[in-house]
Amino acid sequence: MKLYTAAFAPNPERVRMFLNEKGISDIEMVEMNIMEREHKAKDYRAVSPFAQIPALELGDGRVLTESRAICRYLEGLYPEPNLFGKTGEETAFIEMWDRRMEFMFLLPLAWWIRHGHPAFTVIEQQIAELAPRGEKTFRYFAKWLDGELADRDFVAGDRFTIADITAFASVGFARVAKWKPDADALPHLTAWRARMLERPCGQK
Ligand SMILES: N[C@@H](CCC(=O)N[C@@H](CS)C(=O)NCC(=O)O)C(=O)O
């Protein structure tokens, strides 16, 4: 298998963290430079129709895109430690939390950065109004998540899951906007981030 990846970009980061947590090291990694627009080349469009990273090329030549689908596929091959849920009920709750992290945390952040940061004109046709809108939603959600983490250690419950990975990749990407949780304003999110940094997902 071959994984097309890109350092610092949040979606490839989700898959990298997933590999670290599973201890998977037998996948060929192909590093792409998004800011150099390597992913826009014709060769890569043949791999990923929307020219997005990550993409996982399977042994038989088929390609999986979408970070969550790639992680789900790898969970099937490497079931332990379980990161998607063991029962139908647990899986549903983890999925709810993971989708919240993706749509209410990572997506607004992506708007903030992609539409507001001058370096991103290389890959984004910027719409200026989307940046403050994304920033506002991201900050609101960070505060809400901080409250959720007041009485538990992990995003989706009492153990580490894919939802922590999506949230942690978001917090990592937020550095581009010079944002990180402030210990006074967001103490629980700050403590959670410190715990994530100690885990395999926090190691490069
Ligand atoms: N829904 C996709 C999103 C993939 C995505 O947006 N990847 C970004 C990097 S984080 C990308 O390839 N951006 C290149 C571009 O927008 O030109 C997933 O979950 O993998």
* DSSP conformation class of 81: S
- Sheet containing strand 55-57, strands side by side: 28-31, 2-5, 55-57, 63-65
Model confidence over 67-111: pLDDT tens digits? 999 999 999 999 999 999 999 999 999 999 999 999 999 999 999
Average pLDDT value for the chain: 97
* CA-13 nearest atom, ligand 1: 10
What does the pLDDT read at residue 204? Answer: 85
* Structure tokens, 66: 């979408």
Ligand 1 pocket check for 5: Cβ under 6 Å: no
- Encode pLDDT of 8-34 as tens digits: 999 999 999 999 999 999 999 999 999
39 lines ligand 1 (CB under 6 A): yes
| Cα–Cα distance measured from residue 139 to residue 181, given in angstroms and rounded to the nearest whole number | 10
Helix H, strand E, coil C: the string for 124-171 is CCCCCCHHHHHHHHHHHHHHHHHHHHHHCCECCECCCCHHHHHHHHHH
Question: Which atom of ligand 1 has the smallest separation from the CA of 40?
Answer: 17
Determine if ligand 1 sits within 6 Å of the CB of residue 9.
Answer: yes
Distance 95 CA to ligand 1 centre (A): 20
Mean pLDDT confidence for 61-65: 97
CATH numbers and ranges of domains, the chain: 2-77 (3.40.30.10), 88-202 (1.20.1050.10)
Write the pLDDT tens digit of every residue in 115-151: 999 999 999 999 999 999 999 999 999 999 999 999 9
Residue of minimum CA distance from atom 1 in ligand 1: 66
- The pTM assigned to this predicted structure is 0.98
- Tell me how far apart the alpha carbons of residues 156 and 85 are, in angstroms, rounded to a whole number: 10
